[in-house]
Structure 1
Amino acid sequence: MNLQREALSNGLETLRLSGQYTDFTIVADNMKVFPCHKAVLAATSPFFQTMFSSDMQEAMSNSANLPFTEETTERLLQFIYTGRRDVIKTESVPELFHAANFLQLSTLSVECEDFLSRGISPEISLEIWQIAKLFEIHQIAEAAKSIVIQNFGMFITTDAIGQVAFGRFKDLLGEVFLNCSGTVKCTAGWVWFIAQEEPSEQDARSLISVLLKAQNVENKDILGATLQTDDSDSALGNVNSDIVKERKRMWDGACEFYFIKESQPTIITGQMGETGRVSELCEWLVVVGGANREKGSLTVLNYMKQNWYSVDNAPPTDLGYRYAICARGSLLYLSGGTKPKQFLFFDEEQGRWERLNDLPVGREQHTMVTVGQDIFVLSGISREEPEANCSVYKYSTSTMQWHKDHGTISFSVAGARSVVIRRIIYLLGGCAVSQNSSKPANLPCDKIQCFDTSSSISWNFQISLPVPAKCNTFSAVVVNDITFVVHKGEVYQICEKTKHEKVCEKVCKIPNTPMKGFAVAAFGDKLVVFGGEDGNFEETRRVLQFDTSTNTAAELPMKLPIGMSNFCYTKIMVPDSWSLTEMS
């Protein structure tokens, strides 16, 4: 801050504190009055500017009541008058963050976001998540939500979870990665229900319906939820016992409505044609396209049940080939290929692929991955602009816009594999592409390239693949920050032997592994190998498994329902709206 700015801000703050020339008052929620200046407020806040230029009662009375505490109002005015960042602290940031967005103080909102981006304390994460959701600040909302779901148990009080809107509470209970048992989820539901003002039995039914669909919730959890808080009033606060009895009557009535009994199997979700429902606390895997398969068909694997399902509401669609796919949560994205500029997502509600903003430059034989809220496209070839082969493109899912100049990789390749560890993308193998060329060379390479998505810096990894390879002859996956590579039945691991030494070593051989066109996916500490062709170019239906904790391999009893080769695949959280039919 230069001398003139410092003198001005100090002078304005002195005028505010002394009350000189003030022409407006702000009243906090405890009726504490803060004299201030209209010109200063209007200069920093479109909210106040609109108020003062209208016929609003506040403009006529030269006073406004704000729904903020005395402490927050004082900090708010200190920032408006001086720009001091030290008003933002862990204990004050939730209400300041809310006030900044409520009053359209963009500079304070940015400072709060910067403070929160450096770390959100679990104690304030639930409140920050709700505020960020309210004002659609997606990056902060995602970060806060991830902390909430890992510390869910600490919020089960009427003053915390009880103040969350039903739609958002439903969103939390439906989280696959919610870090708690079914008993804790149902106790949270009961505490939330207790905290609501004048709920009806229909509200109880809506809540029970959500719990029935939640992962790992059993009937005994729902039936016993009202008993979990009987021995302690810490969760329920000072709620009147008559209110608790009335809420219990509604809860029990909702359980009867859904025929919930101790011995009855829990109702679970995830549509499966007309024959039943399925829901597991696990990730699924989706396969798109591939040789000898119907164009655009979607097939999903549930590893826990070791079953394959067809997605009935995904009609055949000509997506071309040589495209790439990735998933973020339950959203499935597809880009490039022989329709080089296409960028699509699968709309599960409509049952069709919908077009988003095109790729900045067409790509094929490329990779696409998600890191946080962003999608990155890198490697591959561009026939329209070969000079862009090394460019990295970033798509922000919050703004739904592409960023064309997000960095470059050091070496242009097509048909590579990619894995992500933290925020670094590792690009493995592929065929070299000459500078400004639209065709890859025939010979694969053994390079491993790194791209830091935070700094946009790229470099070559200090070690190479054990053999030169392109994507249809090998696959790679990450388990516990260790990259595993499968090539011609050999399993290699790439990891840090010491702080300064990285190694690539062979750990196992998997018998009967396909030679090309196969996939490797990780479920927990297990690698699952499936699809592809054997040495006689015949499609294999074997499903093989490698246990990284014991370095042992085995063939699983399940088989592929259909032949699959040279397909795209990704892990995904399957939404309830997908209509699934088990494939025999």
Structure 2
Amino acid sequence: MDEGSPDGLLFKDHGFSSDLLRQLNALRQSRILTDVSICTGAQEVPCHRNVLASSSPYFQAMFCGSFRENREAKVQLKGINAPTLEQIVCYVYTGEVYIASENVLPLMEAASMLQYPKLFEACSSYLQGQLAPSNCLGMLRLSEILSCQTLKKKAREVALTHFPEVAASADLKELCALELRDYLSDDGLCGEEEKVFEALMAWIKHDLQARKQYVQELFKQVRLQYIHPAFFHHFIANDTLLQSSPACRTILEMARRQVFSLYGTCAPDCKPLLHIPPRNSYQDFLILLGGRKDSQQTTRDVLLYNRLTDQWQSLPQLPARLYKPSAITLHRSVYVLGGMAVSSGRSLVSHSVYIFSLKLNQWRLGEPMLVARYSHRSTAHKNFIFSIGGLGEGQELMGSVERYDSVFNIWERMASMPVGVLHPAVAVKDQRLYLFGGEDIMQNPVRLIQVYHISRNTWFKMETRMIKNVCAPAVVLGERIVIVGGYTRRILAYDPQSNKFVKCADMKDRRMHHGATVMGNKLYVTGGRRLTTDCNIEDSASFDCYDPETDTWTSQGQLPHTLFDHACLTLQCIPHVSTLP
């Protein structure tokens, strides 16, 4: 609108500039007042110097400086074809240009050379809209050539987030060694390490003679400690190309000793593989599995909690209704072991193992345990699962222990615990498996710490008055093992090095039959049963978090329903669109 003042009126004709530009274009098309021709090859396009000079710094320097072009009637532009020149001049006079797949690249190159940044970014936006896993690496290389940061950022994002599809594209095989190293080393790469290894080997074998010299440097980009041990054993450890490189053989041996074996460590001067972090694309998810829901019968429900969205999601149900199985996570999968299978009013103690893959979003049967058991405890260490104690088919209290080897897919009998107990708190730290407390067959608390030396397959026990937990979980939090409740509010942190306990901040309620897990160096406690002040037992839906840095508890809200005798696990994996919110 026009602006008034006491002394006059400021008139603004908002269409004047565009009308003027249209008139200038009409004059150009009629070759009226044109004073220069822009040429490419035999093509000549008449223009007005002052219009060109006003449109870009490139032409301003050409026609307003001391260059000879400011006096010549014809100016030759190299590196621009005739159709592109026509479109550039049309853009200068109208502010419009049609961008399509057949002209976007020459237009972008011309816009870069002639310094039309808005046209350059418009071409970049068009290319970003065409990005796909099949072409993002080519776009990434193009963005480097054209120094286009917006296209580079978007192409890189697609290349990282769609790694499995990109790895299968022809463009990956055309990368140079430096480009491939930069790509595979990125912390944001959304792909399992097995796929990273396969992509690397496919690249090398595409031109084996020329590329095998890079195998040592590129193999270092594969984070071996996050490889499934069976894949490592069958596809990596004895690969002939890797074995032909002394440096790669050293890396393989280090990985075998540190990560894929219960025995041995690397030399003191070697950088531990375990200290290399997972890629940023890996996330921690909390899984709740089975248990008693809303005081009803044992449930088959499986729930996933995403900390980033603060949302709960239902996953595929357990294949069977199981009373007091045990569950652990290993190799980005959930293992559910044993339990009492309840079906059609019948109960049968099970030795079955069910495995859930979040990536595939489905369950499958695993190798069954040697002994059917329920109310037992399980834990994982490196590539092994230990199944401990519990009740057998005749309701007998068992002290037996068996171990699952995930490399060879077999179960083995191990040394039995010194004292058979039910519902102890169990955790692994520094090559030792710790059983805290529990109860005997008469349901009396057992004041013992039982310690299993994993590599030696031997046990010893220690009596202590500090222990009186029953139906309590234990977790490793930093350098300590934390025993969470167990008919008490008390939280005890045990230091295996000093063999001493430290008391932490109490929980709000006296809890048992609850779940606990660690995510991001914080302790999360879910559900369970609580003892009220008048000694009644209530089922709980509480969801609490303990921060060891501040020694404080905070509520995370409520579970979707009350729940106890359930498994509470942390599953670290790369989220997949098909399975996660």
TM-score by length of 2: 0.49
- Which of these two proteins has the greater Rg computed from alpha carbons? 2
TM-score between both structures, scaled by the size of structure 1: 0.49
